Amino acid sequence: MTAEFLMKLDEGMLGYFRETAGEMTERFGISRAEAVARINERYGSLEISPYPDLMCHELPEFWAYGAYYRADEEGRLPTGDADEDADIDFTKLSIRPLPPRDSPVWTLRDE
């Protein structure tokens, strides 16, 4: 287990999840600490295989959107692909609640 993420990750998957957190900070304007907390909350209970885990069949931004947004009224989440996401109204998507600050998913401090 790394100090950053709650799940056991090999170096390849650690890099993959760090890239996912980076996508979240760039796309959503949140801190790295918040991005990691959201990833931990959403995916921390999963058993992740060594790189390339099945998750790697999707780009990191796919998982970033799933950790940040709730699905729209049609059950769709953005994928990170501009063409696939063209019909999604991002202004109508609700943001998942921030994990409680006293939760163990907060493994990093805000800078």
64 phi and psi, to 5 degrees? -60, -45
- Terminal C-alpha separation, the chain: 23
Whole-prediction pTM: 0.92
53-103 pLDDT per residue, tens: 999 999 999 999 999 999 999 999 999 999 999 999 999 999 999 999 999
Distance of alpha carbon 51 from alpha carbon 56, whole angstroms = 8
pLDDT band at 110 (very low <50, low <70, confident <90, very high): confident
Query: What type of residue sits at position 38?
Result: R
User: Which pair of structure tokens corresponds to residue 68?
Assistant: 């940040």
